[in-house]
Amino acid sequence: MSHLTTHVLDATAGRPAPHVVVSLVRHLTGGGTEPIAQGTTDLDGRLALGPDVLEPGMYGITFGTGAYFDDRGTPAFYPLVTVTFTVEDAGRPDSPRHLHVPLLLSPFAYSTYRGS
């Protein structure tokens, strides 16, 4: 299993958000980013993203929320949602610590938390 998973829920519709494009980057010391992975949520709004283990550092996960709402004919305020987070301890190589970054989404608001 990937070290990082996400689950996007459309809070307005009360269901998972399928087909949301999600990208993961690593923030580099001194500025800039390095692309790590990209994917699309499945019909249940879920996605495993990235390598087996993320090294300690700062990362950003970006959700293509504008395209998701455009496909549904719904005006939305946030065309992209980027969540920046840190990995301090990746766990052991034989047992990496799982990271879960869910997104609760509506056209004019969003929230996230560190899941399990």
The CATH number of whichever domain residue 89 belongs to comes to 2.60.40.180
Q: Is the pLDDT of residue 103 over 80?
A: yes
Looking at the structure of the chain, the number of domains it has is 1
Q: 67-95: per-residue pLDDT in tens?
A: 999 999 999 999 999 999 999 875 555 55
Q: What is the DSSP letter of 25?
A: E
**pLDDT at residue number 116:** 81
pTM of this structure: 0.91
pLDDT value at position 52? 82
Summarised one tens digit per residue, pLDDT across range 25-57 is: 999 998 899 999 999 999 999 999 988 888 889
Residue 37 belongs to domain spanning? 4-112
Q: How far, in Å, CA of 67 to CA of 19, rounded?
A: 9
What distance in Å separates the CA atoms of residue 23 and residue 33, rounded to the nearest whole number?
Answer: 12
**pLDDT over 70, % of the chain:** 92
